[in-house]
């Protein structure tokens, strides 16, 4: 669906995007992450044909990037606006016509979207009268009305209240599931990355610093962290553990039976797997539970940025 | 999935132009200006016609002939001019003569509007005093001056020369130069120049107004960030050309509406005048037979307006439209470039100066061209693309060789096309830039290179 082979862009001496390799398959949701100025917008502008790569090959729908691919794409930039002095429907229909949609098709589709996003009755409203959240919904409709196969949304939830954010999120998921739309989501909202995205691509200072499936990324980034619950003597356990693993935190609870239950978070070195730890631990304490800790995307994000220098 | 056809370059261009046109057309300010403009214009012409003719008041002059230069005793102790033909009876001007000055209350009591004092000194100084109770109109004053001059001339001839007045009149020579075109032998003069100037004023105004529209439109798109959405569908060049075309079409609409409405209103004004009693009284006052005058005669009788009848309006308006389209597009390229470099209109002020200078220059030149329409500067500037839309409009009503117009238009067309292409290159870079304003060097670099986008 979307392939980048060594695509790069620089402005003068500033490297906006170092050669980037990536592949996004049809029907997937990709989270495009990175701190401000990481090169996300630079990349998206090249995908949407607003700018051209200095080098590398960008492929869309299995073909080298062409201008007439643009009508099969929907782009909601982070910096977005609407024309003042136009009415809501008129404006959305204008964008649809620029993308080659016939007026009747566009009107029909628009009616459907007005119902789904619960904005019936806004048809003839002046754009100037819309609140930020309302304008956001209209911009979303303008982005998806022509049924794009590739949908690129830059911070789609900013400015939306929780109820409308859920409404838009559900519509995004519906498009992916029912229409097979491929979605690129550029956001700083890590919660939405966890709930929505299957894959992530993280950029930092123009370089790719992380990519892969979300669950794998969270798994890999945990760096041997596990949480273990056991009964027994905590002090003795820690003593015997020694420098083999790092104790990150612990909590203790006295049970009704008079025994004490401890919950510890540990960071294991690379040469010590969780099963090795368990084999060692059963000789010293009564292990009740042990689970690998999955890092939140937020932690992954911060850790990756720190590891690559902020 | 639905697979809509991607609009072609010109289809998208048309869609953009249409939006620019429609959203501006329905603004109240535009409609008001479009329909009110001609009403004001025709109102001005009507008031010139009606005011100069209808409101002129009767002037009754008391001439104090202190030394008896002009008068002899008449019946019943009154004084009469010894040359009655020098002071003919006029509709709005009557003379009475006396030897002694009257006080202001006495003048007012007898219904005089002014008093002329003259003694022997006037023969040398050729200056008399006009003491005004109510200032007479300038045409009445001219009549008085003419009458007095003639009377004194007769006096001088009688006293100092050995010819009689009729012989003197036969010898007297008064040269007038009538300006004619060397080819067409048509009369041309400063009135036509004035009309050309009027056209150039309108040209200046329209190019400025609609050029600013382009700039504001670009700034609006840039500052409210909609441009990124638009550019993910169309090319910057399409957006730029569409905007310029849409707003230009709006300008043409206004020009056409103004021309059409003005013409219709003038026609109605003429019709109204011909039907009204006003024309009858006017005809009578001009000493013409009733029913012989129509609106054209009225216009022709107005020194200030008569030339309007001699203008080839089709050529004038046609050329005005072409010069507007090309001149506007030329300057719109600049305005769009400036708009794409700034975040808000106030930042554009000092960038506008270099663009407005050539326009202001040709505007000032145009006002000078009325006096010297065929001066080298005026002719050259009617070829230079940046000033030709304004300068050629001044020359046009006075008659210009057709190839001058064609060459000037072709030069303008070529320059406009070139500038649009260069402006588009800068525009596609600067329209997406935020924060820092680009340097002049960077702008020039973008103009002449393909990369950076």
Write the pLDDT tens digit of every residue in A237-284: 888 888 888 888 888 888 888 888 999 988 888 788 888 888 888 888
Over 70: is that where the pLDDT of B6 sits?
A: no
pTM (2 d.p.) = 0.75
Q: Looking at chain A, how many residues does it have?
A: 310
For residues B436 and B171, what is the distance between their CA atoms, to the nearest angstrom? 80
Q: Looking at chain B, how many residues does it have?
A: 453
Picking from B138, B171, B204, the residue at the C-terminal end of a domain is B171
Q: Are strands A2-11 and A55-60 parallel, antiparallel or unpaired?
A: antiparallel
Q: Are residues B361 and B344 in the same domain?
A: yes
**What is the nearest CA distance from A196 to chain B, expressed in angstroms?**
23
For residues B258 and B115, what is the distance between their CA atoms, to the nearest angstrom? 48
Query: What token pair was written down for B134?
Result: 């109510």
Averaged pLDDT score across all residues of chain B: 81
Phi-psi region of B436 (alpha: psi -120 to 50; beta: other; left: phi over 0): beta
Over 80: is that where the pLDDT of B435 sits?
A: no
Residue B108 lies inside a defined structural domain of this protein: yes
**C-alpha pair distances (Å), B206 with each of B169, B253, B350:** 54, 11, 21
Q: Are residues B328 and B212 in the same domain?
A: yes
Query: What token pair was written down for A222?
Result: 């945990």
CA nearest to B221 within chain A? A83
Query: What token pair was written down for A199?
Result: 């894959």
> Which of A85, A146, A149 is the closest to B23 by Cβ?
A85
**What is the nearest CA distance from B354 to chain A, expressed in angstroms?**
28
Across residues A62-87, what is the average pLDDT? 88
Residue B165 lies inside a defined structural domain of this protein: yes
Residues 6+ positions from A240 with CB-CB distance below 8 Å: A284
Query: What token pair was written down for B113?
Result: 């509007």
Q: Are residues B266 and B123 in the same domain?
A: no
CA nearest to B220 within chain A? A83
Residue B17 lies inside a defined structural domain of this protein: yes
Q: Are residues B332 and B298 in the same domain?
A: yes
Task: Write out chain B residues lying below 8 Å of A70, CB-based.
Answer: 6, 232-233
Contact A67, A49 (CB under 8 A): yes
Any idea what DSSP says for residue B275? H
The domain of B64 spans 59-171
**C-alpha pair distances (Å), B228 with each of A69, A184, B185, B225, B298:** 17, 17, 60, 6, 60
Res. B3 pLDDT band, cuts 50 70 90: very low
Phi-psi region of A56 (alpha: psi -120 to 50; beta: other; left: phi over 0): left
Task: Write out chain A residues lying below 8 Å of B234, CB-based.
Answer: 98
Across residues B224-231, what is the average pLDDT? 88
Q: Are residues B282 and B325 in the same domain?
A: yes
Question: Which residue from B389, B370, B270 is spatially nearest to B321, judged by alpha carbons?
Answer: B389
Higher pLDDT, B271 or B404: B404
Picking from B143, B171, B199, the residue at the C-terminal end of a domain is B171
Number of domains comprising chain B: 2
For residues A285 and B121, what is the distance between their CA atoms, to the nearest angstrom? 139
Q: Are residues B67 and B110 in the same domain?
A: yes
Which CATH number does the domain housing residue B106 bear?
Answer: 3.40.190
Q: How far is CA B336 from the centre of its chain?
A: 29
* B143-165 per-position pLDDT tens digit: 888 888 888 888 888 777 677 77
Query: What phi and psi values does residue A283 have, to the nearest 5 degrees?
Result: -75, -15
For residues B404 and B271, what is the distance between their CA atoms, to the nearest angstrom? 39
pLDDT of the residue at A5:
92
Task: Write out chain A residues lying below 8 Å of B2, CB-based.
Answer: 101, 105, 146-147
A83 SS3 class:
coil
Residues 6+ positions from B121 with CB-CB distance below 8 Å: none
Residue B119 lies inside a defined structural domain of this protein: yes
The angle at the Cα of A249, spanning A247 to A255, to the nearest 5 degrees, equals: 115
Question: Which residue from B262, B256, B336, B253 is spatially nearest to B30, judged by alpha carbons?
Answer: B253
Out of B203-207, B244-248, B358-362, B438-442, the most confident range is B244-248
> Which of B3, B233, B434 is the closest to A98 by Cβ?
B233
Any idea what DSSP says for residue B436? S
Half-sphere exposure of B57 (CA within 13 A, CB side): 11
Over 90: is that where the pLDDT of B69 sits?
A: no
> Which of B2, B224, B228 is the closest to A50 by Cβ?
B228
> Which of A82, A84, A101 is the closest to B4 by Cβ?
A101
Over 90: is that where the pLDDT of B48 sits?
A: no
Q: How far is CA B147 from the centre of its chain?
A: 34
- CB–CB contact B2 A71 (8 Å): no
Residue B453 lies inside a defined structural domain of this protein: no
Q: Are strands A14-24 and A2-11 parallel, antiparallel or unpaired?
A: antiparallel
- CB–CB contact A179 B15 (8 Å): no
Q: Are residues B36 and B109 in the same domain?
A: no
**C-alpha pair distances (Å), B334 with each of A164, B209, B392:** 43, 14, 21
Residue B1 lies inside a defined structural domain of this protein: no
For residues A153 and A160, what is the distance between their CA atoms, to the nearest angstrom? 14
Q: Are residues B293 and B277 in the same domain?
A: yes
Q: Are residues B303 and B424 in the same domain?
A: yes
Best residue in A74, A76, A81, A107 to probe B by mutation, most B CBs within 10 Å? A81
* A85-136 per-position pLDDT tens digit: 899 999 999 999 998 899 999 999 999 999 999 888 888 888 888 888 888 9
Query: Any idea which residue has 């001019």 for tokens?
Result: B81
Picking from B171, B200, B222, the residue at the C-terminal end of a domain is B171
> Which of A71, A80, A143 is the closest to B4 by Cβ?
A71
Contact B309, B296 (CB under 8 A): yes
Query: What phi and psi values does residue B372 have, to the nearest 5 degrees?
Result: -130, 75
- CB–CB contact B235 A67 (8 Å): yes
Residue B300 lies inside a defined structural domain of this protein: yes
pLDDT of the residue at B176:
62
pLDDT of the residue at B100:
85
For residues B380 and B369, what is the distance between their CA atoms, to the nearest angstrom? 12
Task: Write out chain B residues lying below 8 Å of A77, CB-based.
Answer: 225, 228-229, 232
pLDDT of the residue at A91:
92
Query: Any idea which residue has 């691919």 for tokens?
Result: A69
**What is the nearest CA distance from A296 to chain B, expressed in angstroms?**
33
Q: Are residues B253 and B229 in the same domain?
A: yes
Over 50: is that where the pLDDT of B2 sits?
A: no
Query: What token pair was written down for B238?
Result: 């399409």
Q: Are residues B228 and B327 in the same domain?
A: yes
Best residue in A42, A50, A91 to probe B by mutation, most B CBs within 10 Å? A50
Res. B84 pLDDT band, cuts 50 70 90: confident
Contact B164, B157 (CB under 8 A): yes
Question: Which residue from A153, A154, A132, A135 is spatially nearest to A144, judged by alpha carbons?
Answer: A153
Residue B180 lies inside a defined structural domain of this protein: no
Query: What token pair was written down for B374?
Result: 């065929």
The angle at the Cα of B154, spanning B150 to B157, to the nearest 5 degrees, equals: 135
Which residues does B contribute to its contact with A (CB < 8 Å)? 1-7, 12, 15-16, 19, 23, 27, 220-221, 224-226, 228-235, 432, 434, 451-453
pLDDT of the residue at B216:
93
A69 SS3 class:
helix
**A174 shares contact with chain B (CB less than 8 Å):** no
Task: Write out chain B residues lying below 8 Å of A72, CB-based.
Answer: 1, 3
Across residues B241-265, what is the average pLDDT? 90
- CB–CB contact B232 A81 (8 Å): no
CA nearest to B22 within chain A? A86
**C-alpha pair distances (Å), A306 with each of A200, A299, B199, B272:** 18, 10, 68, 86
Q: Are residues B145 and B248 in the same domain?
A: no
């Amino acid at each position: 669906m979307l392939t980048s082979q060594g695509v790069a862009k620089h402005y003068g001496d500033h490297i906006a995007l170092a050669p980037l390799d990536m592949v996004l398959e049809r029907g997937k949701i990709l989270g495009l992450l990175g701190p401000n100025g990481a090169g996300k917008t630079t990349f998206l502008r090249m995908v949407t044909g607003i700018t051209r790569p200095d080098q590398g090959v960008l492929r869309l729908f299995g073909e080298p990037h062409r201008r007439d691919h643009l009508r099969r794409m929907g782009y909601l930039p982070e910096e977005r606006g609407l024309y003042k002095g136009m009415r809501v429907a008129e404006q959305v229909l204008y964008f649809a016509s620029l993308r080659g949609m016939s007026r009747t098709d566009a009107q029909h589709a628009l009616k459907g979207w007005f119902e789904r996003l619960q904005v019936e009755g806004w048809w003839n409203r002046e754009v100037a009268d819309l609140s930020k959240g309302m304008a956001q919904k209209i911009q979303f409709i303008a982005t998806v009305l022509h049924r794009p196969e590739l949908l690129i949304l830059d911070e789609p939830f900013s400015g939306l209240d929780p109820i409308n954010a859920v409404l838009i999120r559900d519509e995004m998921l519906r498009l992916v599931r029912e229409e097979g739309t491929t979605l690129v989501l550029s956001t700083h909202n890590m919660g939405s990355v966890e709930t929505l995205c299957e894959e992530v691509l993280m950029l930092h200072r123009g370089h790719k610093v992380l990519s892969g499936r979300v669950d794998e990324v969270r798994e890999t980034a945990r760096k041997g962290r596990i949480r273990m619950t056991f009964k027994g003597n905590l002090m003795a356990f820690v003593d015997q553990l020694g420098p083999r693993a790092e104790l990150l935190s612990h909590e203790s609870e006295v049970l009704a039976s008079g025994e004490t239950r401890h919950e510890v978070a540990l960071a294991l070195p690379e040469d010590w797997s969780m099963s090795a730890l368990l084999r060692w631990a059963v000789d010293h304490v009564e292990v009740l539970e042990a689970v690998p800790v999955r890092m939140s995307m937020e932690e992954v994000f911060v850790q990756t940025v720190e590891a690559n220098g902020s | 999935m639905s697979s809509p056809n991607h609009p072609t370059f010109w289809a998208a261009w048309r869609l953009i132009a249409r939006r620019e046109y429609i959203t501006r057309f329905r603004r109240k300010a535009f409609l008001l200006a479009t329909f009110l403009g001609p009403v004001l214009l025709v109102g001005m012409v009507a008031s010139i016609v009606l005011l100069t003719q209808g409101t002129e008041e009767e002037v009754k002059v008391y001439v104090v002939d202190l030394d008896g230069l002009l008068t002899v005793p008449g019946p019943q102790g009154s004084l009469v001019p010894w040359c009655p033909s020098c002071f003919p009876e006029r509709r709005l001007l009557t003379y009475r003569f006396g030897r002694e000055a009257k006080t202001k209350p006495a003048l007012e009591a007898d219904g005089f509007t002014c008093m002329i004092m003259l003694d022997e000194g006037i023969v040398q100084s050729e200056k008399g005093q006009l003491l005004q109770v109510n200032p007479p109109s300038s045409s009445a004053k001219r009549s008085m001056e003419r009458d007095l001059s003639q009377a004194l001339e007769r006096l001088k001839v009688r006293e100092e020369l050995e010819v009689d007045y009729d012989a003197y009149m036969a010898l007297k020579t008064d040269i007038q130069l009538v300006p004619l075109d060397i080819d067409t032998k048509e009369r041309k003069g400063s009135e036509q120049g004035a009309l050309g100037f009027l056209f150039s004023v309108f040209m200046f105004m329209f190019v400025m107004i609609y050029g600013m529209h382009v700039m504001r439109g670009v700034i609006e798109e840039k500052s409210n960030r909609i441009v990124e959405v638009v550019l993910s569908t169309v090319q910057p060049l399409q957006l730029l050309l569409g905007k310029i075309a849409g707003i230009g079409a709006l300008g043409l609409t206004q020009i056409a509406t103004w021309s059409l409405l003005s013409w219709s209103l003038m026609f109605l004004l003429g019709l109204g005048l011909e039907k009204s009693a006003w024309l009858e009284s006017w005809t009578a006052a001009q000493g013409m037979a009733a029913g012989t005058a129509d609106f054209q005669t009225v216009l022709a009788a107005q020194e200030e307006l008569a030339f309007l009848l001699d203008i080839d309006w089709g050529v004038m308006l046609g050329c005005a439209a072409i010069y507007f389209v090309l001149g506007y597009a030329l300057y719109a390229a600049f305005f769009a470039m400036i708009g794409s470099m700034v975040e808000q209109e106030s930042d554009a002020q000092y960038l506008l100066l270099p663009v407005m200078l050539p326009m202001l220059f040709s505007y000032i030149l145009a006002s000078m061209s009325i006096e010297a329409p065929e001066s080298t500067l005026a002719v050259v500037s009617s070829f230079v693309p940046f000033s030709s839309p304004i300068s050629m409009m001044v020359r046009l009503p006075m008659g210009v060789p057709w190839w001058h117009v064609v060459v000037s238009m072709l030069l303008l067309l070529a320059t406009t096309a070139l500038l649009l292409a260069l402006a588009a290159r800068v525009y596609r870079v600067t329209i997406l830039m935020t924060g820092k304003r680009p340097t002049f060097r960077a702008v020039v670099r973008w103009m002449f290179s393909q990369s950076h986008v």
